[in-house]
Structure 1
Amino acid sequence: MKLLIKGGRIINPAENMDTIGDILIEAGKIAAIGQNLDAGEAQIIDVAGFVVAPGLVDMHVHLREPGLEAKEDIASGTRAAAAGGFTTIACMPNTKPVVDNSIIVSGIMQRGQTEGVVNVKVIGALSKGLEGKELAEIGDMIQAGAVAISDDGGHLDSTRLLKTGLEYTGMFERPVITHSEDEELAGEGFMHEGAVSAMLGIKGRPSVAEDIAVARDIMLAEYTGAPLHIAHVSSKGAVELIRKAKERGVKVTAEATPHHLTLTDEELRSFNTAFKVNPPLRSADHVEALIAGLKDGTIDAIATDHAPHAFEEKDVEFRYAPSGFAGLETALGVILTGLYHTGKLSLMEVIEKMSFAPAKILGVASGDLKVGAPADIAIIDTEYKWSVDCIKFYTRGKHSPFEGRNLKGKSLITIVNGSIIMQNGEVLR
């Protein structure tokens, strides 16, 4: 079936395109882009007044399957993604069993095709069992379709193993994604170490723990010449280290999350476990540095670090709660509200950071509106006002630091491979 998206504001960072026009979709791909296209027998969707963007790409998602389906599974996680305007997501390997061999990679990809409603990409583990002792079957996993390698979920202490892993993945031009935080310094803390932690009497995680780990990881990437991606950057020191590394030509990219870009450690005064994340929410000066890093290209992408937990896991005293929350359904609204509508990022920059850039880092066929490309599209109303209600989430994770907040901006229609998957907040599959 043909589909004509008519009269929208087409924003495509890959081509620096910002124009009013139509997009014709045929056989799951973009067949034409232009003005006043002939619809023929196509179904017409009038999107005048709305933004037509490449589908959002989230390169940092915890789908929890296999083994942790009480928190999330592929069916619920991909529907949450579709509700948020995402058409491609990449899932992290800290599952049970760990995604550390080609059989599990293939299994998740197959489950993504049968149970998922968006494109599911797989990130394989760097070390067997995420134990940080022995390299996982990296080559086999990449051959099976893994788009990156990571021991995310914790810091890899072994410098030797990370060096070896970078040398190995470098041969495939696949990035190693690191959770860069020195656990010896940060491991016993529960929030950012600073004035608020001191006032609350909560042991903190110092920002220098992130800086030290980022410095080490960059040095290894520079030495090996292999691509490195630093996940969920949260400290101003890390931003500066990445900036200087890029100036030297190091193959390093980085991401920041919506919560680290819009929230501070002041939120922890409530002791609400939804605000407990790792790395922690930091003080305002760090947030300002992250936004500056987005603006100047130091930070390449915005990723959710969607990390849902079962309700009872988060419904405990603050220190005992696991870190993380469900972020797929709020990410776009949070970024549009906090960064676009405040003039800190342009709409082109928002879409680049949430679509084109992460797709480019992972080397996947997404994030670009061009003839012949898969018709993965998000139709966005930047003026749509709504309130966050976790009970209505598609994800199984019902905790969010944005619960009850009024946001401005939302994906109204999500199209995956030419099919309408979500419309007006309702996932259709």
Structure 2
Amino acid sequence: MKLLIKGGRIINPAENMDMLGDILIENGRITAVGQNLAVQGAEVYDAAGLVVAPGLIDMHVHLREPGLEAKEDVASGTRAAAAGGFTTVACMPNTKPVVDNSILVSGLIQRGQTEGVVNLKVIGALSKGLEAKELAEIGDMIQAGAVAISDDGGYLDNTRLLRTGLEYTSMFGRPVITHSEDEGLAGEGFMHEGAVSAMLGMKGRPAVAEDIAVARDIMLAEYTGASVHIAHVSSKGAVEIIRQAKRRGVKVTAEVTPHHLTLTDDELKSFNTAFKVNPPLRSADHVEALIAGLKDGTIDAIATDHAPHAFEEKDVEFRYAPSGFAGLETALGVVLTGLYHTGKFTLSEIIDKMSYAPAKILGLESGVLKAGAPADITIIDPEYEWTVNCINFYTRGKHSPFESRNLKGKALITIVNGSIIMQNGEVLK
């Protein structure tokens, strides 16, 4: 199959490219990027007025399979990804059973091939059963295809085990992804500890709990020489700790979510459980620090932490609701609305954070637009205006803090391995 994308604005941060041009795709690979390309027998897509970007990559999603399919599964989660413009997602291991051995890694990869519509990458657990007592089968999982190792979903409080895990994982050139929030300080809280929590009479999760955990994880990475990736950074203290560590040459990378970049704890005055996330939404000064850290490269990537729940789980009193919501289908629109259309970031910077940077962190060959690269491409209309309606989501998670919000910017086409799998909001497979 040949596909020719004509006349789009090609933005390829990997090569500092921003130009009007064409992309030719054959047999699942990009064969040419240039101007005035013409190939006989190719299907032509007119991308005039649109942005042609390397496929978006979400390095932090919870697809809930195996064992928690009432919340999400590979089929529904990857379709939600396609609808949001993502061509690759990496799923976390906090499932039932936990993805802590090579058989489960291989099984999920196979499920992605048979049931998924985008590229599915698997992240294996650092500890068996996420119990922080004994290392999981890290080497076997990486050999089976795991792209990273993590006990995300909770704080790994066994410092000795984390050190050993970092040392062992580093032998395979893979990062350890940490959920950095000291549960001893934060565990009883339901939201950010600050003026709003005091006003609401709600037990808070102090930002210093994140700062302490991030400092520990970075110190261990520095001591071992291993690579650590800090998931969903939310505090200004953590941003500064990461910034200083990078200046020292520590092998640390970090991500931030669209909701931590655009929402504050003021939203919790509504007691809407869609706003309950972990780490929590913080005050405006933390949001400003996150944006500054993303801008100056302290924070490398934007990731959704897509964490869908069954409707009845979130339809309870705030304190009893689980943390998280479905973020794949709103992420690009939220980021473009909050960061691009406000003049804070360029399109190239946003695409870098949502495609090329996560590809580099996970060691993927995607995230670029050049001859020989996988034909994973997202075509975006940055001016497209739309209103969030959770009922229309492909994900099984129907809660979102962005429900009924007007957003500007949307993926119109998602191309995976050379095939159009989403067009104008409809997943075709």
- TM-score band by shorter chain is over 0.9
What do the CA deviations read for 1:332-386 (whole angstroms, capped 9, x no partner)?
0000000000011110000000000001000012100010111000000000000
What do the CA deviations read for 1:61-107 (whole angstroms, capped 9, x no partner)?
00000000000000000000000000000000000000000000000
Tell me the distance in 2 between the aligned counterparts of 1:216 and 1:27: 47
Q: Which residue number in structure 1 is paired with residue 349 of structure 2?
A: 349
SS in 2 for 1:255: strand
* Poorly superposed stretches of 4+, deviation over 4 Å: none
Q: What fraction of aligned residue pairs are identical, expressed as a percent?
A: 86
Task: Quote the offset at 1:39 in angstroms.
Answer: 2.6
SS in 1 for 2:219: helix
Q: Which residue number in structure 2 is paired with residue 368 of structure 1?
A: 368
Q: Which residue number in structure 2 is paired with residue 11 of structure 1?
A: 11
Task: Quote the offset at 1:32 in angstroms.
Answer: 0.6
Q: Which residue number in structure 2 is paired with residue 27 of structure 1?
A: 27
Q: Which residue number in structure 2 is paired with residue 160 of structure 1?
A: 160
Q: Which residue number in structure 1 is paired with residue 384 of structure 2?
A: 384
1:245 and 2:245 equivalent? yes
Q: Which runs of 5+ in 1 are unaligned?
A: none
1:177 and 2:185 equivalent? no
Tell me the distance in 1 between the aligned counterparts of 2:120 and 2:5: 25
1:259 and 2:226 equivalent? no
SS in 1 for 2:100: coil
Tell me the distance in 2 between the aligned counterparts of 1:405 and 1:49: 25
- Any residues of structure 2 matched to 1:297-336 within 5 Å, and which? 297-336=297-336
| Count of aligned pairs between the two proteins | 429
Q: Which residue number in structure 2 is paired with residue 99 of structure 1?
A: 99
Task: Quote the offset at 1:38 in angstroms.
Answer: 1.0
Q: Which runs of 5+ in 2 are unaligned?
A: none
Give the TM-score, by structure 1 length.
Answer: 1.00
Q: Which residue number in structure 2 is paired with residue 409 of structure 1?
A: 409
Tell me the distance in 2 between the aligned counterparts of 1:292 and 1:224: 29
SS in 1 for 2:280: coil
Question: 1:120 is matched by which residue type in structure 2?
Answer: L
Question: 2:144 is matched by which residue type in structure 1?
Answer: A
Question: 1:83 is matched by which residue type in structure 2?
Answer: A
Query: Could you tell which deviates more after superposition, 121-130 or 358-367?
Result: 358-367
Tell me the distance in 2 between the aligned counterparts of 1:310 and 1:364: 32
Tell me the distance in 2 between the aligned counterparts of 1:151 and 1:115: 25
SS in 2 for 1:243: helix
1:41 and 2:41 equivalent? yes
SS in 1 for 2:96: coil
SS in 2 for 1:217: helix
What do the CA deviations read for 1:41-74 (whole angstroms, capped 9, x no partner)?
0000001000000000000000000000000000
Tell me the distance in 1 between the aligned counterparts of 2:33 and 2:214: 42
1:134 and 2:134 equivalent? yes
SS in 2 for 1:76: helix
- Any residues of structure 2 matched to 1:85-234 within 5 Å, and which? 85-234=85-234
RMSD, aligned CA: 0.3
Task: Quote the offset at 1:265 in angstroms.
Answer: 0.1
Question: 1:58 is matched by which residue type in structure 2?
Answer: D
What do the CA deviations read for 1:153-185 (whole angstroms, capped 9, x no partner)?
000000000000000001111000000000000
